[in-house]
Amino acid sequence: MFEKTVAELSRALGRKEFSSAELTTVFLERISRYQNLNAFITVDPERSLAQAKAADVRIARGEGGALTGIPVAQKDIFCADGWLTTCGSKILSNFTAPYDATVIDKLNRAGAVCLGKTNMDEFAMGSSNETSYYGVVKNPWNPETVPGGSSGGSAAAVAARLAPAATGTDTGGSIRQPAALTGLSGLKPSYGRVSRYGMIAFASSLDQGGPLCRTAEDCAWLLNAMAGFDARDSTSVDAPVPDYTKTLDQKIEGLRIGLPKEYFGEGLNPEIAQVIQAAIGEFKQLGAQVLEVSLPNSQLAIPCYYVLAPAEASSNLSRYDGARYGFRASDYKDLLDMYCKTRAEGFGPEVKRRIMIGTYALSAGYYDAYYLKAQQLRRLIAEDFRRAFEVCDVIMGPTSPSTAFKIGEKTDDPVAMYLNDIYTVPINLAGLPGMSVPAGFDARGLPIGLQLIGKYFDEARLLNVAHRYQQVTDWHQRTPKGFS
């Protein structure tokens, strides 16, 4: 059962080949067996099985939908009523959410079963899942390497077949980069397509929730449930949501693929470049046209992002002071001392680094020089994409400049760590949809991801293009050794 995709499991549940309770039990047993990956922070078998049994009742009555009875792992950044919700941080290590995030609520209404809350970089700040208070997550393809971040726990869980699908969030690549490093399909929707209500904020103008699955088809099924307007989220876009599964099989003859010349220069691993070119060749065989485009300001994306995101984080994380909820330091003299000690003890080094950078960028005398300038660069980056999409339908390139690196290899070099997001960050700055799909492996047997970038709210085209690619390749069907 654990080798089946979401689509296959849904059809099998509909045929009553097995029950949701039986299916959920299989995945709970695998989660327990492979705890060495450290993919989960919280698991509650009793609660999960209760949901599964309720789903079985719905299916028996003929009331089930596409996701009814399907187990889904939830990134521990989404508030879930009655579940410990830590955001991978000590400062929220005792916080039990009193309500459901919109994403959780939508999946619950669809009948999905929550398998548990997955590990993540603290407050989604990281590209390797090494900053979590709960320890490093290991990549199933090689436990000595990272799974990517910040949605590394979700990625490791799906890659190791501990869950058929998982939710993630993407602020600068945190769905697509771990998808690439673990051989999965991961989709970051357009900004505003999926509600951020109940999703613990890192950088509010960049954060976006999305699915991590084995196939593009599965991503379409999950996005159908997750997407939609939410009046509780002021950044949610009130726009029609199509059925993303309806257009998966459309032919892509005549599709115009843009290849940014800036994405294939210095810094890209030659093995990855070769794999991406081979993937482009598959699209040519399917009738697509390929042309070169230019994104001249893409090299400015990393410095731009690492001014804007920390600035927003500095503001968002000011609420964690020990006064209302979460961790509180035990030994303090007065209120100010409590604030200082709580934050000093409750936040990890990377979170502190970004708060300090953001506070500096917003401070008097530096706002115009840093924050305002970064916002101007952001506009130029978005404008680059607008011009590129005048001549192409989809932009393609690598998801990450390298495959999974060893645990601890880049922890002492923040700049080297940040550069892992060089191909993903521009998409968040522009608010565009982006997706990573498996495209091959390097000489060490580590997965390589192909990134697809679409026009605003054109997720249906990305899913269609990815699905057609997966119909003629089998990279998405590979399973890490020891987990099949």
**Structural domain range at position 123:** 6-255
> pLDDT tens across 268-284, in order?
999 999 999 999 999 99
Predicted confidence (pLDDT) at residue 267 exceeds the cutoff of 90 = no
Supply the Cα-derived Rg of the chain in whole angstroms. Answer: 21
Q: Looking at the domain assignment, is residue 394 inside a domain?
A: no
Q: Looking at the domain assignment, is residue 442 inside a domain?
A: no
> pLDDT tens across 201-210, in order?
999 999 999 9
> pLDDT tens across 127-136, in order?
999 999 999 9
State the Cα angle at 118 between 115 and 121, rounded to 5°: 170
Domain count across the chain: 1
Q: What is the mean pLDDT of residues 279-308?
A: 96
With cut-offs at 50, 70 and 90, classify the pLDDT of residue 417.
very high
Q: Looking at the domain assignment, is residue 293 inside a domain?
A: no
Q: Looking at the domain assignment, is residue 419 inside a domain?
A: no
Q: Looking at the domain assignment, is residue 396 inside a domain?
A: no
Q: What is the mean pLDDT of residues 449-478?
A: 98
> pLDDT tens across 225-265, in order?
999 999 999 999 999 999 999 999 999 999 999 999 999 98
Mean pLDDT of the chain: 97
Residues with catalytic function = 75, 150, 174
CA 121 – CA 134 distance, rounded (Å): 9
CA 77 – CA 117 distance, rounded (Å): 8
Q: What is the mean pLDDT of residues 90-106?
A: 98
> pTM to 2 decimals?
0.97
Q: Looking at the domain assignment, is residue 241 inside a domain?
A: yes
Whether 400 contacts 160, CB under 8 Å = no
Q: Looking at the domain assignment, is residue 85 inside a domain?
A: yes
Q: What is the CATH number of the domain that holds 224?
A: 3.90.1300.10
Considering only CA atoms, which of 251, 260, 262, 172 is closest in space to residue 208?
172
Q: Looking at the domain assignment, is residue 62 inside a domain?
A: yes
